Amino acid sequence: MPGNCTYLNGNSLGPLPLRARHHVSEVLRQWEQLGVEGWWRARLSATLAAEEMEASWFELAEKLAPALARIVGAEPKEVIATGTITQNLHQLLATFYAGNGDLLATSLDFPSDSHVLRSWARRLGKTVRLVPAADDGYSLDPKVIEDMLAEPGLEVAVLPTVLYRSGQLLDVQKLSKIARDNGVFLIWDAAHSAGIVDHHFHDDEVDAAVWCNYKYLSGGPGCPGAVFLHSRHHEEEAGSGASREAGLPGWWGNDKATQFEMRLAHEPAGGAWGLQTGTPCIVGLAALAGALEVFEDVDMEEVRRQSLRMSDYLYRQIRRLLPEVVVETP
Ligand SMILES: Cc1ncc(COP(=O)(O)O)c(C=O)c1O
């Protein structure tokens, strides 16, 4: 830890897990000894999803999917470690936003989300409607979000699970249902909840979500982020059996079985796995593998209970010792 401090910056960059250091060194050694052969012959061994797994670099992202999926309450094919939040948002909009209606976001969003949405609205001649901040200036009124999700002419919405400015946690299950009932495709930015909140993305019928793995999950600076896509969106047309093609397709989103046949036609890998684009950063994925190993023994519901207990303790101490401090988290 820098300066032997108590490190409380997991909301920005989680600390280094020893298993991440182990796997990064392992990949560097493999690179040195195997060169390009590492894509097939390297074996990164980790205990994930309660199993000893051995993954070549070629299949590493897919092999991490079950462990990553467990953390957000998803099925393995619904999740993939790839890209960044920014890139994955562009990917989801390219795939699911046809420009038949407006976009919805909030005025308290992280700038990158706003940049993405504005670019798509501009391209398709539509508007980004913004949920205004509540009177305190740092939180959102859930009732206003509910009403705006039900307004006519809306096609896609992006909402934060947790607001990075105030720690406000939105009701993912309830808002996802309201969006669904109104025919709005809702994408959650879970940057500030993945690894700290017990999500149930599959059961809550969330359409899609994006998050980074470098915060609470401690996957390392700039390690690949993640995207969730619910299984009901995996086919081009429900019941067609044809895997949906990404709006921004690339060879790493091709079916692994035919990827190296180098055909010009794209054959999408099923589910979220087909949302990958180009060659992933294996050093970053190796660090993430180590971080996910640490989470293997972690029950996300217990993490949430513990987080609430610690926050409660902190609030009580603040009230007792620092009465002048205002707690802004709703
Ligand atoms: C809420 C939120 N959204 C988006 C981003 C951008 O993430 P990335 O740099 O992985 O695209 C961040 C980065 O910290 C964030 O906190």
pLDDT tens for residues 237-266?
A: 888 889 999 999 999 999 999 999 999 999
Answer yes or no: is 197 within a domain. yes
- Of the candidates 306, 328, 304, 302, the residue with the CA atom closest to the CA atom of residue 315: 328
User: In whole angstroms, what is the distance from residue 288 CA to residue 140 CA?
Assistant: 32
What does the pLDDT read at residue 53? 80
Answer yes or no: is 180 within a domain. yes
What does the pLDDT read at residue 152? 98
Answer yes or no: is 329 within a domain. no
Strand-pair category, 44-48 with 128-131:
unpaired
Answer yes or no: is 59 within a domain. no
316 CA distance to ligand 1 centroid (A)? 31
Q: Which domain holds residue 85?
A: 65-278+291-321
159 CA distance to ligand 1 centroid (A)? 13
- Of the candidates 92, 49, 87, the residue with the CA atom closest to the CA atom of residue 69: 49
E strand map for 173-303 = 185-189, 208-211, 226-229
User: In whole angstroms, what is the distance from residue 248 CA to residue 261 CA?
Assistant: 20
Axis crossing angle, helix 172-181 with helix 142-149, rounded to the nearest 10: 20
Strand-pair category, 185-189 with 154-160:
parallel
Using the 8-state DSSP alphabet, how is residue 51 labeled?
A: E
Ligand 1 contact, 31 CB (< 6 A): no
E strand map for 124-174 = 128-131, 154-160
Half-sphere exposure of 256 (CA within 13 A, CB side): 13
Closest approach atom of ligand 1 to CA 86: 11
What does the pLDDT read at residue 3? 75
| Residue 76, domain CATH | 3.40.640.10
What does the pLDDT read at residue 49? 65
What does the pLDDT read at residue 107? 97
What does the pLDDT read at residue 178? 98
Ligand 1 contact, 212 CB (< 6 A): yes
- Percentage of residues in the chain with pLDDT exceeding 70? 99
Answer yes or no: is 7 within a domain. no
Answer yes or no: is 208 within a domain. yes
103 CA distance to ligand 1 centroid (A)? 19
Q: Could you report the average pLDDT of every consecutive run of 10 residues in the chain (330 residues)?
A: 83 95 96 96 82 88 96 97 98 98 98 98 98 95 98 98 95 98 98 97 98 97 98 92 95 96 94 98 97 93 95 93 89
Answer yes or no: is 177 within a domain. yes
Average pLDDT along the chain: 95
E strand map for the chain = 44-48, 51-55, 79-81, 102-106, 128-131, 154-160, 185-189, 208-211, 226-229
86 CA distance to ligand 1 centroid (A)? 7
Answer yes or no: is 130 within a domain. yes
Number of structural domains (the chain) is 1
Ligand 1 contact, 86 CB (< 6 A): yes
CA-proximal residue: ligand 1, atom 7 (nearest): 85
Give, for 180, the enclosing helix (H) or strand (E): helix 172-181
